[in-house]
Structure 1
Amino acid sequence: MNRPHWIPAASLLALALLAGCSGGHDEHAAHAPAASGAAPAQTAPAQAEAGIAVRDAWIRLPPPGAPVAGGYMTLHNGGPQDDRLLALRTSVADHVEIHEMRMEDEVMKMRELTDGLPLPVGQDVVLAPGGLHLMFMQPVADLQTLQQAEVTLVFEQAGERTVRFRIGADAGGDGHAHAAH
């Protein structure tokens, strides 16, 4: 790997490893839309329509000037068929990638899931520090001042869903879902 590519790769790995080392839980403010949404996806009727429920969506606040920010959530496929999270869009980062971390030959490795994230029927898929996660690439400079961000999730079967992600130092939240309005 030549040096220009090595430095960003090392930065991404370091950020992902740091994200996996911390955890925590704090209280999430009431359900006011202006409050953050460590949680994320719509009300019960909207969840039933699309079949995908989203909970506990949050973006870890990166150090100022960091080239990436980690994102996490829990997805539940309550629909009639397997689905797949294909892509994400947001105005708070240049682009968003879906990644996994796993041990291979006693070495932690991270890779982008270029074919998307499988969502089997009836199962939770947890994106959390140290495992499956989102990488918000080149986050906006004012991410430090935001409490939440709208992120559009693109599913193979369920279509698009815009979700509020809470922005903070740790997971926080109460597990409730919030729809973007």
Structure 2
Amino acid sequence: MIFPVGHGAGPRASDQYVVRVGGTAEQLSEAEFGVWVCAHQSADLDEVLAVCADADIEDAGQHLDELLRRGLVVQVDDVTAFAQQYRLLPLFIGLGNRPDDPQQFAIGLPGLEPLAVVPATTYELWQWGWVAPSLWAHCEVLGTIGERPQLDVVLDGVSALLSDFVAVLDPVS
């Protein structure tokens, strides 16, 4: 399982892109940025490489290795350690539950089509996950309010929010 880290801040020059991680700005080549964007589409390494291939990104595997080395993509081998080392930061605005399906919640900008429509557990993670100092702490909070802290459900929510670009992962400082 892999996840992209940081917030894309856009192009700096014609062939340089910026991704903010914590208080630092990492500069990526166009190809590296393309792979970083592809890493949002799935937590599965093979699927990410397939998305990169569909986008005609050459040497995607090498670029992915470099992003892993630099900490702009993280490979999750130990889910507990990962959850203790990263937190989720929301982007955009919560638009509330959908009138046609009250169990689904929208995220985006008022007056526009939602960027994401997610179930209540994922919306709660998006809405309140930033308050907890880590994803692990978010799970612990869920346990104190009577919900079973299911790390796999939280990670599925992280994946969904990242794929819609409505949240970012940030390392715990």
Shorter-normalised TM range: under 0.3
Structure 1 length-normalised TM: 0.24
Of the two structures, which has the highest relative contact order with CA contacts closer than 8 Å and spacing of 6 or more?
Answer: 1
Give the TM-score taking structure 2 as reference length: 0.24
Larger strand share, 1 or 2:
1
**Between Structure 1 and Structure 2, which shows a larger proportion of helix residues?**
2
